[in-house]
Structure 1
Amino acid sequence: MLWSPDIHSSAEARRQARRRLPWMVFDYIDGAAGEEHGVALNRAALRDIRLRARVLVDVSRRDLGVTLSGETVDRPFGISPMGMCNLAAPGADLMLARLAARHQVPLGVSTVASTPLETMIETAEGHAWFQLYFSGDGSGTMKLVDRAEAAGYKTLVLTLDVPEVARRPRELRHGFTMPFRIGPRQFVDFALHPRWSLTMLVKGKPGMANFQRPGFTFDRTESRAKADWSYLARLRDRWTGKLVVKGVLDVEDAQELKRAGVDAIQVSSHGGRQLDSALPPILALQNIRRALGPEFPLYFDSGIRSGEDVVKTYAVGADFVFLGRILLFAIAAKGEAGLHSLWNALAEEASVTLAQIGRTGLTSLEGGLAQPDSG
């Protein structure tokens, strides 16, 4: 069969990525905390949301555009911050940045990106938000804030659901570490995936680019447990741009964050990578929306696998949605062409879903849900 760049679903992208990537790299991207029940529960909760299919509505013109931070974007989803993206393929970070620039959607730039934060926002043509981890005593965090401000970032995404890095058995089994190290176990794994290995040999193994300069250090395993409300207050005073807090699942936390002056909340379970027994984020989103009312900006990530999932998430209260590992799978499967193929497939799925439920856009989807039949 002739090679084709087309990827028709996130499941297809994952299957192809699993064949192409070393086991260690695939399990780093795909894996989650504990026994991975949290991932499965969130997927089940998303699947159980039912949409009302309406007829005799003119849906010949549909618009996927939404308003984000006062500006209209032409896609209802952006790109979550993901660490060490270049493990999927050399230049994956910049592929994502170019995609963000093309569609003018936010690119989350991870603290542990494979490409310097300055290069990322330049390539994304300004459509980038910097994701921030607290670590140690917080002094290093503030140095990164200064760098992000100097580079032109207008939005910080403070990620708070990693007080300690969770145990992810698949990573532990393979001996995965950051910075990236190669030992005997990894050597055998890489030898069995020669195409990926030879490409990395030519391009160079990825590192944590934001810490490859004097005065900046990062230890992935370092405790982040000292972050508290006083730290948030200091950061809010220091950062004059928009401040998004990511990793929120609790209603009381959401209410307190609103009172503390954050600009938006990103409901997320870190893709199931932190707490296996966490409340499914899609259920947390519904609870938090009811508690905060219709006006406060709520973003969402975790478990999105299709354009239909995107529509469901808007219907239960999201103002914007972020995609994560499925984009890395598309890159691993078929490079930048595969990324664009999956991106367009997700948009088409969302548009077709709107047609099926008799809607022409993603705003004002109240009443678009029907509870599962109990009979």
Structure 2
Amino acid sequence: MSATAIHSAADARRLAKRRLPWMVFDYIDGSAGNETGAARNRTALDAYTLRPRILRDVSNRSLASTLFGEATQRPFGIAPMGMCNLSAPHADLMLARLAAKYQIPHGVSTVASTPMERIIEVAQGHAWFQLYFSGDNSGSFKLVARAKAAGYQTLVVTVDVPEVGRRPRELRHGFKMPFKIGPKQFVDFALHPRWSLTSLAAGKPQMANFEMDGYDFDRTESRARATWDTLAQLRDLWSGNLVVKGVLDVEDAVALKAAGVDAIQVSSHGARQLESAPSPFATLPAMRAALGPDYPILFDSGLRSGEDALKALDAGANFVFFGRILQFAMAAGGEAGLHKLWEVLSDELSIAMAQTGLRDLDSAGKISNA
């Protein structure tokens, strides 16, 4: 394991690419179409500059934040990611332990490799359940009932996948869940024996939340039947915090606020769905202007550093989430790699705060040169 070699998210990705089967790496890393959507968002992040300030006492800095009235030790959490155990055995539980340590939300995907009940237990309550509408939504509402029974207080409804986006890198490898092992996949796994042997020893990754009566999940099944009426039914059913994830249109955001949604999550699903979608980062200022200063706006997509996190907070987000780079860290260095990258992200944020004259995050939103 190479946790000590991780000094940036780019290091974690480089090591993960070497160790993971090509099929698994491209599943985690890939984006829709020709991947111009991911590049466009990265360009927007790179173009956004912060305002360096000098001669301010920033010797004591706090990375703490609050979210839905709960204190967190960081202004960033763990985005929901499907099949995390492909990156490393028991990755879901590594993320849950990280969430417990830093009191930050762990987004538990509908297609997690570990049952939702086990994850929230290990996360000591610091977990949110992410829901996909699917089919006629009867199975989706069964999952909501399970989440409520397990003690989840926040439900994240992902709405930007009416149909699963075409990701050519996955298609070229014949990626399917559960795995379909043909000659190409066999060769891929054989050329990556460390991953293959450790994964075999831990048991084949499954979509654990669907091992229940009356539910048969198909990852590629159409989710196109969900409507505003479906959301209204869910709002009536769910008494906890309701977040809608995958919002990129200001008009939709305003309508969601009016519909009683507690927060929106500005996201392009990591650019994995609609290649021609606008940069989620570039939409943040307009979202903030339309929704007012007090409505919670969460953000994910394309963040690669603590400095990126500060940019998103400055541009209008209240809280942000890291995704695939955490999987790369676990692939590169296991649980030690995950904690090393988390320390890197925290250090990057703290240094950026010092450079911009911030002692805490209450003043984020006033430090850009944009």
Shorter-chain TM band:
over 0.9
What is residue 290 of structure 1 aligned with on the other side?
Answer: 289
C-alpha contact 1:6 1:337 (8 A) present in aligned 2: no
C-alpha contact 2:2 2:337 (8 A) present in aligned 1: no
C-alpha contact 1:6 1:341 (8 A) present in aligned 2: no
Select between 181-190 and 145-154 the one with higher mean Cα deviation.
181-190
Distance 2:351 2:4 in 1: 22
What is residue 347 of structure 2 aligned with on the other side?
Answer: 348
What is residue 319 of structure 1 aligned with on the other side?
Answer: 318
What is residue 56 of structure 1 aligned with on the other side?
Answer: 55
Over 4 Å off, 4+ runs = none
- Give the unaligned 5+ runs of structure 1: none
Distance 2:289 2:179 in 1: 43
Distance 1:3 1:344 in 2: 15
What is residue 36 of structure 2 aligned with on the other side?
Answer: 37
C-alpha contact 1:6 1:342 (8 A) present in aligned 2: no
What is residue 20 of structure 1 aligned with on the other side?
Answer: 19
What is residue 107 of structure 1 aligned with on the other side?
Answer: 106
What is residue 220 of structure 2 aligned with on the other side?
Answer: 221
Verify: 1:248 aligned to 2:218, yes or no.
no
1:203 deviates by: 1.3
Give the alignment's TM-score, normalised by structure 2.
Answer: 0.98
Describe the SS at the equivalent of 1:50. Answer: coil
C-alpha contact 2:12 2:329 (8 A) present in aligned 1: yes
What is residue 335 of structure 1 aligned with on the other side?
Answer: 334
Distance 1:187 1:246 in 2: 36
Residues 226-245 of structure 1: matches in 2 within 5 Å? Answer: 226-245=225-244
1:204 deviates by: 1.4
Residue type matched to 2:196 in 1? Answer: S
1:4 deviates by: 5.2
1:181 deviates by: 2.4
Residue type matched to 1:23 in 2? Answer: W
Residue type matched to 1:302 in 2? Answer: S
- Give the unaligned 5+ runs of structure 2: none
Residue type matched to 2:132 in 1? Answer: Y
> Do the aligned partners of residues 167 and 4 (structure 1) sit closer, same or farther apart at CA in structure 2, a change above 3 Å counting?
closer
What is residue 73 of structure 1 aligned with on the other side?
Answer: 72
1:7 deviates by: 1.4
What is residue 274 of structure 1 aligned with on the other side?
Answer: 273
Residue type matched to 1:126 in 2? Answer: G
Verify: 1:209 aligned to 2:202, yes or no.
no
Distance 1:256 1:228 in 2: 13
1:179 deviates by: 1.8
Distance 2:61 2:3 in 1: 29
> Do the aligned partners of residues 207 and 307 (structure 1) sit closer, same or farther apart at CA in structure 2, a change above 3 Å counting?
same
What is residue 89 of structure 1 aligned with on the other side?
Answer: 88
Select between 285-294 and 108-117 the one with higher mean Cα deviation.
285-294
Describe the SS at the equivalent of 2:364. Answer: coil
What CA RMSD, in Å, does the superposition of the two structures yield over aligned residues?
Answer: 1.0
C-alpha contact 1:210 1:216 (8 A) present in aligned 2: no
Distance 2:120 2:232 in 1: 26
Give the alignment's TM-score, normalised by structure 1.
Answer: 0.97
Give identity over the alignment, percent.
67
> Do the aligned partners of residues 327 and 3 (structure 1) sit closer, same or farther apart at CA in structure 2, a change above 3 Å counting?
closer
What is residue 368 of structure 1 aligned with on the other side?
Answer: 367
1:367 deviates by: 2.6
Distance 1:365 1:64 in 2: 11
C-alpha contact 2:163 2:224 (8 A) present in aligned 1: yes
Distance 1:192 1:135 in 2: 36
